[in-house]
Structure 1
């Protein structure tokens, strides 16, 4: 079965437990409150033939870029959230994208999956799971 193509622009429609997730990352209270008010968009370029991906999270506060090849470990700059770096690998698990981040926070990572024009993002750190839902722009 062919893997889904994640390319597109997605706008956030909801989030759940994001403040708790940021607290698990030791993000200070004031910054957490600002970040939780943001409604990010995700701009994704996905080359299904090479596995190269670019995910740009765009907000009015700060943007965050990830540029990687599926299955290959890379150093991720987490500066958009907490100014740290970690070793990251993103790869397929079925038709979901699974990210494992190795660094100072145990169990940190995320999962992306598509259901039609809806992009789901589940974020994990220190036993806390948050969820964001995005809708693809037409």
Structure 2
């Protein structure tokens, strides 16, 4: 079984405001990101994955196969393409602008030695982290 499978609730963020600012996200959405505590539900079977995000701000569902690009939308409404792939026990998503194909962000999800899911988000030189605990 994949260690990422399950329900996860956000415990804390590191450097998210700077990351979102660098991406051009407006102040109102950046402020909402500071106070929202999303739950992420991950399930996978073979190459097929489902990631659901639930929060008081916005809900989002993604279904994809590893190695295939899909169309998605960011919480602030940007149209993007995501390529999901595995690097060992890490789930990686490369987010690109749908029109220009410019790389916007790389998001890596993994479970650390403490059993927390860590999401590392990188845009150019800015790195943010989100830490989630498993919901029992």
TM-score using structure 2 length: 0.88
Provide the secondary structure at the position in 1 that maps to 2:58.
coil
Contact map agreement 1:89 1:99 (CA 8 A) in 2:
yes
Question: Partner residue of 1:54?
Answer: 50
1:64-123 Cα offsets, whole Å, 9 max, x none, are: 222111111111222x2x211122111111111111112166451200001253111011
In structure 1, runs of 5+ residues without a counterpart are: none
Provide the secondary structure at the position in 2 that maps to 1:60.
coil
Query: Over aligned residue pairs, what C-alpha RMSD do you find?
Result: 1.7
Question: Partner residue of 2:94?
Answer: 100
Mapping 1:43-122, distance limit 5 Å: 43-47=41-45, 49=46, 51-78=47-74, 80=75, 82-103=76-97, 106-115=103-112, 117-122=115-120
Q: Distance in 2 between matches of 1:89 and 1:4?
A: 19
In structure 2, runs of 5+ residues without a counterpart are: none
Contact map agreement 2:23 2:104 (CA 8 A) in 1:
no
Question: Partner residue of 1:137?
Answer: 135
What is the count of residue pairs matched by the alignment? 132
Provide the secondary structure at the position in 1 that maps to 2:21.
helix
1:8-54 Cα offsets, whole Å, 9 max, x none, are: 1001111100111111121111221122111111111111x2x1111
Runs of 4+ in structure 1 deviating by more than 4 angstroms, as ranges, are none
Q: Distance in 1 between matches of 2:26 and 2:117?
A: 28
